Structure 1
Amino acid sequence: MFAKLLSTLLVLLTAAMFTLATPAIAGDAASGGKIFSANCAACHAGGRNVINGAKTLQKDALDKYEMNSLEAITNQIINGKNAMPAFKGRLTDAQIDDVATYVLSQAENGW
């Protein structure tokens, strides 16, 4: 009985650790900040969006529009969407990773 309880407790603890783990950050946020300033800040200064005020880079908006992962942000940077231009071919893969890391980091920290 004790072994079963202990086993169940360990499974729950392991699940909690994976649920609460912070996402891995792939790029260099400092470099991403510089690239963001040069390429993105005209429309997204301070995490805002001058074209569509509802779709900001704030954490709540990223969550709402399922843009709250490095993969989703990277995809948006590469391919663009609506008024946002695609940056594939304009930025290197490493620069795109750095910008995505910067955006996610800034969103997590409230810009």
Structure 2
Amino acid sequence: MISLLSSILLAVMLVWPSTALAVESGASLFQNNCASCHPNGTNIIRRGRTLKIKALRQRGLDSSEAIAQVAREGIGQMSGYADALGDGGDVVVAEWVWQQAQKAWTQG
């Protein structure tokens, strides 16, 4: 079973390497820079300011571009993370966050 899953994952990465890398990088960037305050898309500082789809849409953050701007520049009490995320990291993590929000953060 594990070798079958590994084979499928390898095939996907070979066909779409940039997509697979972006997902892995986005998850890693999120884990390293965002997850301490936003575990599974929640918010331990301000409950209403989650990364769940409903909360994002209510605040006009309904695209990866809008989320990238917040990640880069900050918003409200949250400082910007441009330096920590590195060149283009804001875009990668924002795309990953947007995908997770659309999936209701069910896969972690």
Fold similarity call, TM over 0.5: yes
Query: Quick check: 1:67 aligned with 2:61?
Result: yes
- Deviation per CA, 1:22-60, whole angstroms, max 9, x where unpaired? xxx9x9222101110011000000000111101100011
SS of the aligned residue for 1:93 comes to coil
Structure 2 residue ranges without an equivalent (≥5)? 1-18
- Tell me how far apart the structure 2 counterparts of residues 63 and 30 of structure 1 sit (CA, whole Å): 25
In the TM superposition, what are the counterparts of 1:63-102 in structure 2 within 5 Å?
A: 63-102=57-96
Structure 1 residue ranges without an equivalent (≥5)? 1-24
SS of the aligned residue for 1:89 comes to helix
Q: Quick one: which amino acid aligns to residue 36 of structure 2?
A: A
Task: Give the equivalent residue in structure 2 for 1:15.
Answer: none
Alignment RMSD: 1.6
Q: Is the contact made by 1:51 and 1:83 (CA closer than 8 Å) also made in structure 2?
A: no
Cα deviation for residue 81 of structure 1 reads: 1.5
SS of the aligned residue for 1:52 comes to coil
SS of the aligned residue for 1:90 comes to helix
Cα deviation for residue 89 of structure 1 reads: 2.1
Matched residue pairs, number? 86
In the TM superposition, what are the counterparts of 1:1-111 in structure 2 within 5 Å?
A: 28-111=22-105
Query: Could you tell me the percent identity over the aligned residues?
Result: 34
Q: Quick one: which amino acid aligns to residue 68 of structure 1?
A: D
Which of 1 and 2 has higher RCO (CA within 8 Å, sep 6+)? 1
Which structure: larger Rg? 1
Q: Is the contact made by 2:74 and 2:81 (CA closer than 8 Å) also made in structure 1?
A: yes
